[in-house]
Structure 1
Amino acid sequence: MNRNSRYFLRTFLLAVSVAMLAACSTTNTVGKPEPPVEAHITMPSGFNSIMLDIIDKGRRVRIYTQMNDIGDPKNNQLLFPAKVASKLNLTTKQMHRRLIDLLLRVKRFEVYDPDYTVVQDKAYQQWGPEEADIRIDCLVTDARQKVIDIRPYRKVRTQVKVSLHMVNVLTGAILFDSDVAVEGVWGDVQGQGTLIPPNVPLESESVQTSLGGDYERALTKAFDAAVERIDQIMRPVGRVTFVAGNSISMFGGIQHGFQGGDEIVVFRAHRKDMGDGYERLIGVQPIARARCDGVGSDLSQCTVLRIEPSQQPMDGDYAVLTDESARGMRNR
């Protein structure tokens, strides 16, 4: 081996040694979570105490819905007749089916389905309406269509307003201070709404069918807004099952509404017997804030980021999704 070869060999071995040393140093530091910062922790605004009883039972929220009325196409505010609604299957039953499907799309609600037979119920649906946690009565309070002149064409704007009456079945309490009003509009933006060419009458079959389709789309948008409100009031809640240092194991995963990267507030629930033999929630104590990077079907692994001074998460504590995570993009 000549002098140049020995030089390059020594240089190579030195480089490898330095790299291995750096790797060892990195191995000792990477993967160790930063210690949590002591800070004041506040409860999210969307917490609802009904979720504690539900997660204690190890299941999802059970919802029973009723669709009372979807509006009458014979009223003078809608521009298509009842026969068009019948042709398009715009019935109360069919739109109730649409609402149920939208609720099921959230994937963390159990929704009572009146269309399943008794035989199917045994395999799919193990509970009845009387066992629901939330009852929702849905009613179309206003539906109207308006022709807008955008010469040489005419365009139709459809507006549907829906009222939701949501009740805690166990206590009889209304979930909001009053009924929730939502609306769906079809025709406000380009590409939406029936466009009527010049010299084509409003009463033509093609226009009438298109108007019925506009109504269905506006009603679906109102349902989407309704489901969004229900999703907000039913903020995901989990139950702490194990704590090791800054790591938390939680019963609560994808099927309960959590997803990877979510941040949670860990809190302690304080209950008291009010003299009637039943323990009631009298207060909550925020303990820590954590991030859940490992979210499975029904279990999650989370790391504490911030913690109240002199506090420590414990087995039996609860966890609720933060406002920031709730406002972020949610997988449906």
Structure 2
Amino acid sequence: MLDIIDKGRRVRIYTQMNDIGDPKNNQLLFPAKVASKLNLTTKQMHRRLIDLLLRVKRFEVYDPDYTVVQDKAYQQWGPEEADIRIDCLVTDARQKVIDIRPYRKVRTQVKVSLHMVNVLTGAILFDSDVAVEGVWGDVQGQGTLIPPNVPLESESVQTSLGGDYERALTKAFDAAVERIDQIMRPVGRVTFVAGNSISMFGGIQHGFQGGDEIVVFRAHRKDMGDGYERLIGVQPIARARCDGVGSDLSQCTVLRIEPSQQPMDGDYAVLTDESARGMRNR
């Protein structure tokens, strides 16, 4: 992803939702007509996933329905324009009735798989798909509660079950977006060094926040004989803290420098593990 920060733009993600599960399967307790009434369609849930990705504020997110206006004509924005393509699929969805006499309670579980591909190289980003799940009904106050003598097939219960499925799916999407945000770590580029002060292209819209700690590193590239330079290694140079973070630029203070090294213009910076695991603003 170093080429992206070199171009001064954000990561472009193209998303496609392949399936959200079929309410007609025997693992879900509400019928297709309830799903239709609640607008639990693949398209609508895909929109929910896109909105959650956009909430991260450092990705440009597109889908098969996205169009742009150019030369007074609408043109569709295809996956070939993206950096990362994400295919999302609900792999399992089920609801279970739990007896908590005199009531009955429903637990809903939805599993989601994300297939992520580098569009430029065609390579899968990870050894396997990113798998997450969302559960609704494990804690008090969650899950449809069915009073005694009220049938599972009643309209109010069926509508509530559909709502449970939507909440579980949304929780799975939340977990998926969190994983994507953690995996695709914010990257910046050093533009100026003076003493223990570093200026970096990379700010709020690239995912950095005030107080973040970064690792400054040097990228080593080599022409492999096909006319293209490829990354062959990275060298840690220093550790720094982002004291002032703007929209595009950040001012950082060097905390530690590797022996015999010195940060310089053209180096890169990536968010540390500790900052990535900390609380991130949304």
- Secondary structure, in 3 states, of the residue corresponding to 2:71? helix
Maintained 8 Å contact 1:240/1:248: yes
- Secondary structure, in 3 states, of the residue corresponding to 1:125? strand
Change (3 A) 1:182 1:320: same
Structure 2 length as normaliser, TM-score? 0.96
Unaligned stretches of 5+ in structure 1? 1-50
- Secondary structure, in 3 states, of the residue corresponding to 2:274? helix
With 174-183 and 311-320 compared, the bigger mean Cα shift is at: 174-183
Maintained 8 Å contact 1:266/1:286: yes
Distance 1:104 1:161 in 2: 22
C-alpha distance after superposition, 1:266-285 (max 9, x if no partner):
00000000111100000100
Change (3 A) 1:77 1:61: same
Distance 1:271 1:80 in 2: 55
C-alpha distance after superposition, 1:230-265 (max 9, x if no partner):
111110000000000000000000000000000000
Distance 2:14 2:202 in 1: 22
As a proportion of its length, which structure holds more helix? 1
Distance 2:73 2:206 in 1: 21
Match 1:245 to one of 195, 199, 209: 195
- Secondary structure, in 3 states, of the residue corresponding to 1:119? strand
Maintained 8 Å contact 1:112/1:125: no
Change (3 A) 1:132 1:82: same
Distance 2:129 2:24 in 1: 26
**Which residue number in structure 2 is paired with residue 290 of structure 1?**
240
**Which residue number in structure 1 is paired with residue 41 of structure 2?**
91
Shift of 1:229: 1.2
Shift of 1:119: 4.0
Shift of 1:309: 1.2
Match 1:190 to one of 127, 140, 159: 140
Maintained 8 Å contact 2:16/2:64: no
Maintained 8 Å contact 1:160/1:183: yes
Change (3 A) 1:194 1:200: same
Change (3 A) 1:175 1:86: same
Maintained 8 Å contact 2:68/2:74: no
C-alpha distance after superposition, 1:273-321 (max 9, x if no partner):
0111100000100000000010000000000000111111000000000
Q: Rg: which structure is higher?
A: 1
Maintained 8 Å contact 2:68/2:77: no
Distance 1:243 1:110 in 2: 30
Do structure 1's residue 154 and structure 2's residue 154 form an aligned pair? Answer: no
Change (3 A) 1:287 1:123: farther
Give me the CA root mean square deviation.
1.8
Poorly superposed stretches of 4+, deviation over 6 Å: 120-126
Match 2:82 to one of 124, 129, 132: 132
**Which residue number in structure 1 is paired with residue 28 of structure 2?**
78
Shift of 1:114: 3.9
- Secondary structure, in 3 states, of the residue corresponding to 1:289? strand
Shift of 1:129: 2.4
**Which residue number in structure 1 is paired with residue 153 of structure 2?**
203
Distance 2:185 2:43 in 1: 29
Change (3 A) 1:295 1:124: farther
Maintained 8 Å contact 1:246/1:303: yes
With 114-123 and 197-206 compared, the bigger mean Cα shift is at: 114-123
Shift of 1:190: 0.4
Indicate the structure whose relative CO is greater, using CA pairs within 8 Å and at least 6 residues apart. Answer: 1
C-alpha distance after superposition, 1:33-63 (max 9, x if no partner):
xxxxxxxxxxxxxxxxxx2111011000000
Distance 1:189 1:183 in 2: 16
Change (3 A) 1:123 1:135: same
Match 2:113 to one of 163, 167, 184: 163
Do structure 1's residue 216 and structure 2's residue 161 form an aligned pair? Answer: no
Shift of 1:125: 9.9
Structure 1 length as normaliser, TM-score? 0.82
Distance 2:117 2:66 in 1: 24
Do structure 1's residue 105 and structure 2's residue 52 form an aligned pair? Answer: no
- Secondary structure, in 3 states, of the residue corresponding to 2:99? strand
